[in-house]
Amino acid sequence: MANPSPLGEPILAAYAQFVQRIDTHAARVESAWGDELACRVGCSGCCHRDLTVFPLEAAVLANHIDGAGVELPSTARPTLTPTALAVLELEGAEPCVMLDAEGRCRVYAARPLICRTHGLPLAVQDDEGVYGDVCPLSFDGGAGLADLPSEDFLALETVNTVLVALNAQFVAATGADPARVSLKELARS
């Protein structure tokens, strides 16, 4: 599932720039609030989902898997801590196919935006306004979010809007199928 056309290269470059901006924000928040964040290498509680990604991110992942020689899928199930199981209510959930047996992401450098942003303090907009959200294992179960300045929250709607726009450009430029791609399916191809 490599990039279907060189016409997508400028969009892939724009996506890479956007990812860099998200990573810069994440690094700043992790530097300031690292003690409050539960996310650590091998903490894979939030990775027990059958995620789907846009064709743009599927192309980025496929290029990374091919270029880095990542072997997928693994039959080994990562170990989850009892805390992650209890708080995240993942009993019986299937691990993401991109995880290795220790719960580390094999495609971490190219992980999709949903994975890059999960665990960070998010500003989520709904019909009632904007609220802060975070992993229930972080910031004292979310209660500590009141101490964060607004610039430490990532605006989820903005992230999603930019991603949708970049994906639409990618699909239009490359002729890629616009349907979301399951990570399980991506691993099989």
Write the DSSP assignment of the chain as a string of letters. Answer: ---S-GGGHHHHHHHHHHHHHHHHHHHHHHHHHGGG----TT--GGG-S--EE-HHHHHHHHHHHHHHT-----SPPPP--HHHHHHHT-TTPPPPTTB-TTS-BTTGGG--HHHHHTTS-EEEEETTEEEEE--TTSGGGGGGGGGS-GGGSEEHHHHHHHHHHHHHHHHHHH----S-EEHHHHHH-
For residue 113, the model assigns a pLDDT of 96
For residue 62, the model assigns a pLDDT of 93
For residue 91, the model assigns a pLDDT of 65
**Rounded to whole angstroms, how far apart are CA atoms 171 and 180?**
11
Is residue 165 assigned to a domain? yes
Please count the structural domains in the chain.
Answer: 1
Is residue 133 assigned to a domain? yes
Stated pTM of the model? 0.87
Is residue 80 assigned to a domain? yes
For residue 100, the model assigns a pLDDT of 84
Is residue 162 assigned to a domain? yes
Is residue 187 assigned to a domain? no
One pLDDT digit (tens) per residue for the chain, 189 residues: 444 456 689 999 999 999 999 999 999 999 999 999 988 877 787 888 788 999 999 999 999 999 888 887 656 667 666 666 666 666 667 788 898 888 888 999 999 999 999 889 999 999 999 999 998 889 988 888 988 999 999 999 999 999 999 999 999 999 999 999 999 888 887
For residue 2, the model assigns a pLDDT of 47
Is residue 154 assigned to a domain? yes
Structural domain including 90 reads: 6-182
For residue 1, the model assigns a pLDDT of 45
**Rounded to whole angstroms, how far apart are CA atoms 3 and 97?**
21
Is residue 188 assigned to a domain? no
* Radius of gyration of the chain measured on its C-alpha atoms: 17
Is residue 63 assigned to a domain? yes
For residue 3, the model assigns a pLDDT of 41
For residue 84, the model assigns a pLDDT of 67
For residue 97, the model assigns a pLDDT of 87
Contacts of 14 (CB under 8 A, 6+ apart): 166, 169
